Amino acid sequence: MKKNEIIEVTCEYLGTDGKGLCKYNKCTVFVPFLLKGERAKVIITDVKGSNIYANIKEILEKSENRCSERCSSYYRCGSCNLRHLSYDEELKFKQNNVYLAYKNEGIKVKVEPVVKMDDPSNYRYKVIASFGLKKNEIVYGLYEEGTHNIIGNNDCPIQSHELNEVLKSIKKIMIKLHMVPFNEYNNRGSLRHILLRMGRKTNEIMVVFVTVSEMFHGRNELVKELIKIHPNIKTVVQNINPRRTSVVLGDKERVLYGDGYIFDDLLGIKFKISPKSFFQVNPIQTEILYQEALNCAELSKNDIVLDAYCGTGTISLAVSKKAKMVYGVEIVKDAISDAISNAKENNIRNAFFKCDDAKKYMQTFNKKIDCLIVDPPRKGCDKEFINAVLKLEPKKIVYVSCDPFTQARDVKLLMGKYNVRLVKPVDMFPRTVHVETVVLLEKKG
């Protein structure tokens, strides 16, 4: 088998990354966008040992679960990967992925059905779009994977409708004012990216123009016209990022309009969002996720809660109403300052936040913990953190994670002292393979 050869394959199942997996002679063929049961002619793009990588040339037998992707950029964009699969099947796929992650660690658990979104579209309330020129026309959107080629997509179906409209307005005004995006070949223009955030409950919008230098000709006119069209834009910030890395935001900021931040509300608590704050992108499901975590915790007024990897304190503050005291620990300084000011803003006096490494904090924590909440990044918890948990022996652990594989690995380490009571995935990122899972562990005996 070699590159460009065409072969016929049948998809046996989907890998955890959503790609179709097929057998061919003694090799495994990986085919993006091919569904279980489908037969197709595929063209080989790469061969590595017994792994063959191929793209669909023609589908010969279609699955009944195939649906219209409803996005003109889907096959190039890479931000969604399951738009061609019906939403019901996507949910089953995610539930099974969580099951496999635990099985992989030798843990037999019942995985609850994934908590779905009623309408799995236009859920992103945070948008990042790169701006550039293509054939003398302004284009914006994401970069095609591994390139600097912008995929122009004016109506991304997972981004909030209103934020799509704001992007369209920005392009229109730029054309009217003869403004051009930054062009790395002739160094004209200044605008590279736009970051938008919107509060779902408050409707407040934040616009961040990311430019290569302080110079940004036409910015005042641009801002004036933009807020005329979208009066719920409450703040506009210019962020300066001269570096050519994949990190979108630079260090320097200049507020062009408003206060430099907006607010949103989650479970009745007000949160301040500034350009660099971590705040979940899907506010609809975030409330559901936190509610699930709260239900698991079953807190009473005398309970001491520790929220490890607490970010800007979203879970800690949601929990604080039901507990005696909440301790939040997080490694990023800015996030902790946000958490402290969010607590003040909401008159919450029983939440204490500390900027520290979660494992160090756990190792020196000297109070009895009734409920430990953990929500670590993708790589999961450190082993030393888990060891400290096993020493402190909280009665309950609520483990929230965006990666079921690292979560299962960590849960396994806790199982000597804990029983798994509930494994419940929540769909925070419909149409992609990502899944968030809430797990409840209870101390044995």
Applying CB under 6 A, the residues found at the interface with ligand SAH are 278, 280, 309-311, 314-315, 329-332, 335, 357-358, 375-377
Strand order in the sheet with 252-257: 150-152, 137-143, 126-134, 191-198, 205-211, 233-240, 252-257
DSSP for residue 346 = T
CA distances from 284 to 117, 123, 287 (A): 8, 7, 6
192 vs 359, which CB is nearer to ligand SAH? 359
* Nearest distance in Å: CB 345, ligand SAH: 16
Closest CA to 286 of 402, 183, 390: 402
Residue number, 18 or 311, with CB nearest to ligand SAH: 311
> Whose Cβ is closer to ligand SAH: residue 144's or residue 382's?
382
Smallest distance, ligand SAH to C-beta of residue 270, A? 15
- Least Cβ distance, residue 329 to ligand SAH (angstroms): 6
Residues facing 323 on adjacent strands: none
What is the dihedral sign for C-alpha 101, 105, 108, 109?
Answer: negative
Point out the catalytic residue in the list 27, 67, 355, 402: 402
Residue 415 Ramachandran class (φ > 0 left, ψ -120 to 50 alpha, else beta): alpha
Backbone angles phi, psi at 87, to 5 degrees: -65, -40
φ, ψ of residue 409 to 5 degrees: the values are -60, -45
Query: What DSSP character marks residue 2?
Result: -
Instruction: Identify the bridge partners of residue 126 per DSSP, sorted by sequence position.
Output: 197
Residue closer to ligand SAH, measured from CB, 370 or 403: 403
Report which DSSP code applies to 108: -
CA–CA dist 338, 278 (Å, integer): 10
Of 388, 332, 330, 398, the C-alpha closest to 359 is: 388
Nearest residue (CB) to ligand SAH, 375 versus 410: 375
Which of residues 38 and 292 has its CB atom nearest to ligand SAH in the complex? 292
CB of 332 to ligand SAH, least distance (A): 4
Give the residue with the Cβ less far from ligand SAH, 36 or 354.
354
In the complex with ligand SAH, the residue whose CB is nearer, 132 or 404, is: 404
**Smallest distance, ligand SAH to C-beta of residue 315, A:** 5
Nearest approach, Cβ of 358 to ligand SAH (angstroms)?
A: 4
**Active site annotation includes 402:** yes
The contacts found for 92-98 with CB under 8 angstroms, 24 or more apart, are 93/14, 93/18, 93/433, 94/425, 94/427, 94/433, 94/435, 95/425, 97/16, 97/404, 97/433, 97/435, 98/404, 98/423, 98/425, 98/435, 98/437
**276 within 8 A of 311, measured Cβ to Cβ:** no
Query: By C-alpha distance, which of 436, 429, 435 is closest to 126?
Result: 429
List helix spans (H) across 66-190.
74-77, 87-104, 161-176
Rounded to 5 degrees, φ, ψ at 166 are -60, -40
Q: Which residue is nearest to ligand SAH (CB)?
A: 311
Q: 369 in helix, strand or coil?
A: coil
The least distance separating ligand SAH from the CB of residue 414, rounded to whole angstroms, comes to 18
Tell the smallest beta-carbon distance from residue 386 to ligand SAH (Å): 13
Point out the residues that are catalytic. 402
